[in-house]
Amino acid sequence: MELTDRVAVVTGASRGIGFAVAHALGREGCRLAICSRTRDELEGAAERLAGSGSEVLAMPADVAVEEDVERLAQRVREEMGGADILVNNAGITRFGAIDELTARDLDEVLATNVRGPFLCARAFLPGMLEREDGVIVNIASLAGKNFFAGGAAYVASKHALVGLSKSMMLDLRSRGVRVLTVLPGSVDTAFFDTQDRFDPDRDRILRPETVAEAVVEAVRLSDRGTVSEIEVRPVNP
Catalytic residue numbers? Answer: 154
DSSP string across 173-189: GGGTEEEEEEEE--B-S
91 vs 69: CA distance, rounded Å: 15
* DSSP 8-state symbol, 96: B
User: Do the beta carbons of residue 175 and residue 207 sit within 8 Å?
Assistant: no
Strand order in the sheet with 85-88: 56-60, 31-36, 7-11, 85-88, 134-139, 177-184, 229-232
